[in-house]
Each structure stands twice: as structure tokens, then as C-alpha cells.
Amino acid sequence: MSFFLEIPQDGRDFSRFLHCMTRAAAQALLDFETPRGLRLKVSSLSAPNFATSYTLGSVGVVDGSLSFLYSSLALSTPSKSSEINLHHVILGYRQLRELRRPDEPWWWEQWQGGKRIDRKDTLLYGRLFLPNSTLEALYLRRLTPTRQLRISCVSDSTLNNGGTILALLQNDYGKYSTEYLYSTDSALLGVRGLYNFGPDPRTSPSASASAVTSEGSVLAEPQYGRFSAGAELYYGVLNKSGGVSTAIRFATLPQHTGFPYTMTLTLNPLMGNLSSTFAVKAGPQLSLCSRFDFNVYSYESDLQLGLELWRLRSKSLETAWAEKLLREGWKKRKARADEDVIGILKARVDQNWKIGLLWEGRIKELLFSAGAGFDLKRRDKVLGARIETRGDKISNPRVLQSSQSEAKFASPMILLGNDILVPGASFYLLRPVPLSCIATSIASPANKTVTVASPNDPIQGVRNDDDSNTADGDSCNLPSVKP
């Protein structure tokens, strides 16, 4: 349900971080966005610490955006589109890994001449949308190995007071994680928490199988699955409205010998909405997912089914015959995870026969996305497509040019939303936590759609474009649901 990245940097371990979204697997398979119109994106990593990105689109009118990113910790993303691992760029089903022990603060200390010279890592990001001159910015600061401060803001004439600011303090201790937030929109206060049942990574030894050492001490039993529970609570001071939701999840771990799967159950007691999801990796290149929503007040329900299929490059006829002549016992060189991947096909359908298709892949130096949406009850729906291209000097396309941009450190911290991996880097750039739509009133009638503190909703006035198959840990972002 999140991305796992191991980055040795000056002896420090940035390998584990927390990813919230208890329903991230279902959202990656069911909530993908089908492109609209034609869009060209170009990104450049001009220096290890600085990157720029440009977007030009045509959806009725010509529009675009300019963005930059600065990181105090050098990025090491591939410099060519042909070298980028598609598993790091495309959202899909990801299996959880075992929880890992957080870094100790003294591990990060650097001394020279009797003085500490280490500094807290910082990331700055900004993006300007044209022609409506909407501006979004992000400031990210690692305070300790288990604590992170994030401040994001949006400036737009369509928003109240011309903009909004969101501040979050995130903590990840492995066994549990917490998050506290404040938004200037409605003076919203919020708290989230997630608890992982099972051994505490801070005190329990890690082992892939039970064993007894020569001294007779018993190592930890292998963990085949993890059960997690969490909740979130919000209150708007100005509009005097609140929201609450709870969720539970069970997911298999790598030691599980069967098919990897994830089950979640989310409850919004105020709105009376109950949502359950089930996602399974049915094969090496095939994942399936289903989601069922039910409202106990209106008795309305909704069912969605989805799949993702990775397409591999077919074997060349010129080399296939030669492999048959090799002697027995000869082992073929193991290919990279992304070496034979051409692209991925995603499809979904709901009970109203609304169908969505998305194909993402690579042709030489070109990364592209093409999709279509069909409503069999409305034949006037049109198709949409989006193209992403990169030159020789580029960085991760979906990273630097996601229209909902946000950065995360690839260390043990909580990540919000559907993250997009920066291969080999210590930051994650992803969709922005919406600021203006976090504090939506909950006191609406039951027949209206109300969002309560949903951090994946698009920012008002900002376009919303839709990121290794393993993850490490979990966190606390329990999505609210619609009545």
C-alpha cells in the first residue's frame, strides 16, 4: 500500500517510511483518472538538488504550468525516461512489508572538529498554473527521524480570503503513528491515528522464520499478515462542524505463501456510510479489486470492480532458439523488475455500467498515458488522452509534473495520498493534500454529498491529474466517504 525505498546516504537508513491510506490498494486500482485532451509534460533535473518541470495542455483552452523543486538532500533519479522503472511511476497494487525499527536520533549525527555539522533535510516546491495564475507551494522539514513538519498553501482568487494554508505535524513510531493538522480554511483542527497489532519493531527482533540460537534464545515468529485499526477526528472552529471516521485493515506480508491480498472496512458513523474493499494480486502481472459502499440511512449502495494488467515484452525470435540449445542447469541472468515491462492496462466498471480504461507505458524516450471513459447509459461521452514526454535530461515524469504535487521524505514518515516514487531519491513527490476542501461542513442533509476531511480531494481551482510493488508500514489517513 505504499512504496518502499532503501537509500543509503552517509550511513543513514532512509529505507522505511509510513504511508497512510488504508484503502490505497483499492484506490490505485479503481480511482485512477482517465486523461482529458492532450497534455505534454517535460521535466529536467538540472542539478542533483534542483529540478524544473513544464506542462502544456489543451482542453478547450490552452493552459499549462511551471514548477520547480529544491532539495537539500541530493536527488539521484535516472536522467533518462528509458531508465525509469515504471513500477516507481505508475500506481498499482503494492504488498506491505514488515514494520521496521525507526532510526535512532544519534544515527543521524555528523561531527567534525568536535562540532555537529549535520542539518535537518528540507524540501521546497512551487508551481504556477497558467493562465489563471493559481499558485501552490510546499515546505517540508525533517525534525527528527520519527517526526516531520509540512506546510502547504494555495493562492487562488476563487478561494476564500484568496488562499489557504495547511500545517501538519506527522509522527511515525513504527507500532503506531499520529498526525495533527491545522487549516486556515474554517480554522480546521484534526487528529489522525493508526495502530498496528502485532510485535513492536522497536523492541522485537526481526526474522523471516522462527529459530533458536546456540544460546537457546528464541527468535521472533514470522508474521504472515498484519491487522491495523485507525481513526480520524476533525472539527471546524468557524463553522462549528466536525467529522469522524474509523477503519480496519488486514493485509498479507511477504512471508505469506499464497496470493497477496488486502481487505479493508471503513465506517463513517455520522454519515452512516460503510465501505469495504478487497484487493488481490492474482498473478505476477495481474491484480483484481472490488469495492462495495452502503449507506445505512438511505439504503443506497454502490459496487465497483477493477483490474490492472502489466504487459511484458515478448521474447525475441532471434534469441528464443538459442536459449533452447543451452545446457541444462544454466541459469539465465535475472532481469530487472522493469526490464521487460512495456506498460500497464487498468480497467474499472461500476453497477451503473460506467467503464474506465487507462493505458500507461513507454516508447523509447516517451512516457505516455492514454485513457477513455464510457457511460453506456450516455452515448455522448468523449474520449481523452494525455501524452507525457521527456528528453535526455529528465527526471521522474509523474514526480516532478504531477498536477497535484507534493513532496515527502523517503524516511520513516507518514505520507498522504497516492504517492509517486522518486527512484533513488530521499523524497517522494505526490498529489497535494487539498487545503480548501478539508473543512467541508458535515451538517448537510443525507441526500447530499459531503466530504469530511478527505485529503485526496482536488484543490479548488486547480486541475487534478492522476506511483516496486512493496511497501513498508502504514499510517493514519482514513478516507471519509460519501453518503
At residue 316 the predicted structure's pLDDT band, cuts being 50, 70 and 90, is low
CATH number of 8-108+117-201+223-314+339-472: 2.40.160.10
For residues 428 and 476, the answer to whether their CB atoms sit within 8 Å is no
Count Cβ atoms within 10 A of the Cβ of residue 357 and give its class: 0-12 exposed, 13-18 middle, 19 or more buried.
Answer: middle
Higher pLDDT among residues 16 and 296, named by residue? 296
- What's residue 383's pLDDT? 47
Q: Is the pTM of this model over 0.75?
A: no
Looking at the DSSP assignment, which residues form a beta bridge with residue 415? 19
Cα(382)–Cα(159) distance, rounded to whole angstroms? 30
For residues 193 and 479, the answer to whether their CB atoms sit within 8 Å is no
Sign (positive or negative) of CA dihedral 455, 458, 459, 465: positive
Question: From the CB of residue 309, how many other CB atoms can be counted at a distance below 10 Å?
Answer: 15
Cα(61)–Cα(472) distance, rounded to whole angstroms? 42
Whether pLDDT at 267 is above 60: yes
Only one residue has cell 498529489, namely 431
> What pLDDT digit, counting tens, does each position of 372-386 carry?
888 888 766 544 444
Mean of per-residue pLDDT scores for the chain: 70
The DSSP secondary structure of 96-127, one letter per residue, reads: EE---PPPPGGGG--EETTEE-----EEEEEE
Helix (H) / strand (E) element for 86: namely helix 86-89
Higher pLDDT among residues 375 and 328, named by residue? 375
Distances (CA, A) of 323 to 144, 314, 353, 369: 52, 14, 46, 34
> What pLDDT digit, counting tens, does each position of 205-221 carry?
554 444 444 444 545 56
**Percentage with pLDDT > 70 across the chain:** 64
Distances (CA, A) of 107 to 12, 111, 181: 7, 11, 28
Count Cβ atoms within 10 A of the Cβ of residue 269 and give its class: 0-12 exposed, 13-18 middle, 19 or more buried.
Answer: exposed
At residue 62 the predicted structure's pLDDT band, cuts being 50, 70 and 90, is confident
Mean pLDDT of the 151-166 span? 89
Whether pLDDT at 476 is above 90: no
> What pLDDT digit, counting tens, does each position of 87-121 carry?
777 888 887 777 777 777 777 777 777 777 777 88
- What's residue 333's pLDDT? 52
341 Rama sector, left if φ>0, alpha if ψ -120 to 50, beta otherwise:
beta
Distances (CA, A) of 25 to 99, 122, 230, 259: 18, 29, 17, 15
Whether pLDDT at 439 is above 50: no
Cα(475)–Cα(173) distance, rounded to whole angstroms? 10
Cα(9)–Cα(294) distance, rounded to whole angstroms? 47
- What's residue 245's pLDDT? 92
- What's residue 201's pLDDT? 77
Count Cβ atoms within 10 A of the Cβ of residue 420 and give its class: 0-12 exposed, 13-18 middle, 19 or more buried.
Answer: buried
**Percentage with pLDDT > 90 across the chain:** 25
At residue 150 the predicted structure's pLDDT band, cuts being 50, 70 and 90, is very high
Which of 135-139, 356-360, 430-434 bottoms out in mean pLDDT, i.e. has the lowest? 430-434
Domain borders along the chain are: 8-108+117-201+223-314+339-472
Higher pLDDT among residues 129 and 479, named by residue? 129
Angle at 410 between CA 409 and CA 411, to 5 degrees: 90
Sign (positive or negative) of CA dihedral 2, 393, 368, 63: positive
Whether pLDDT at 314 is above 50: yes
Whether pLDDT at 138 is above 80: yes
- What's residue 433's pLDDT? 33
At residue 274 the predicted structure's pLDDT band, cuts being 50, 70 and 90, is very high
